[in-house]
Amino acid sequence: MTQTVLITGAGIGIGRATAKAFAAAGHHVVVTDVLEAEGRSCVDEIRAAGGSAEFHHLDVRSTEAADALVARIEAERGGIDVIVANAGIAHKVPLPALTDEKWDHTFDIDLKGIFRVVRPALPGMRARGRGAIVALSSIMGVAYGWDEHVHYSAAKSGVVGLVRGLAVELARDGIRVNGVAPGYIRTAQLLSAENSLGPEAAEKAGEFIPMGRLGEPEDIADVILFLASEGARYMTGQVVVVDGGLLVGRY
């Protein structure tokens, strides 16, 4: 069955790989991002490969924009079947510089941004008695602390609580809610020396990951595709760590 899948932050990285995975599986993908060129090129790639997709600019900090987009897709497509809440930022900020504004900016995108997109889609999902939501957390939200990223770790931990709370409240409506906690994935975010490991440290990280390599965006996309599928029909409220064995291999 062809489903309508809305993905946030789908212009680059994990979001882009996820959009392409859902399209390759025969679904219609609503690619959203604040990055116009990247989002549109993702749609172009999907269509060139024979898939179905459309792009919409969406800043998940805007309740008005999220409400309007969900309403538009519901009206045009007859409903949203899957939401992949992937949009996020990770800015390196040492504690002395961690102002209320910088804290709120990360939470507004990484945590509240998920709820803003999910909330307006729930009435439609409840009316149809089905739906799947997958939210992106991080190993920094389920197991690790991260110096100079306290706000990020806290927000990604919040995603775990959000997944659990939504899952319990929505289970009897036929709506499943799960999360993914990626480890070190080869994305622009990880390779940013300004805000994350940077290229050299990222490659060195691959040496102590039990599977011997960094993850690729496609490694996460395929797990997201599974969590949204009928194969995960009895799964809800779970946050699945996908990290090449990093957490279990470090002691």
Check if the beta carbon of residue 150 is closer than 8 Å to that of residue 97.
no
DSSP β-bridge partners for residue 83: 6, 133
Task: Show contacts of 118-123: CB within 8 Å, 24+ apart.
Answer: 118/83, 118/85, 118/166, 119/66, 120/66, 120/67, 120/70, 120/71, 121/6, 121/70, 121/74, 121/80, 121/83, 122/170, 122/175
Angle CA 97–99–104, to nearest 5: 135
Give the integer Cα–Cα distance in Å for 248 and 243: 9
CA distances from 55 to 35, 73, 179 (A): 10, 11, 24
CA distances from 169 to 85, 92, 172, 199 (A): 18, 34, 7, 42
**What are the φ/ψ torsions at residue 217 (nearest 5 degrees)?**
-50, -35
The residue type of 179 is G
Catalytic residue list contains 152: yes
Q: List the catalytic residue out of 152, 184, 234, 251.
A: 152
Q: Which residues are catalytic?
A: 152
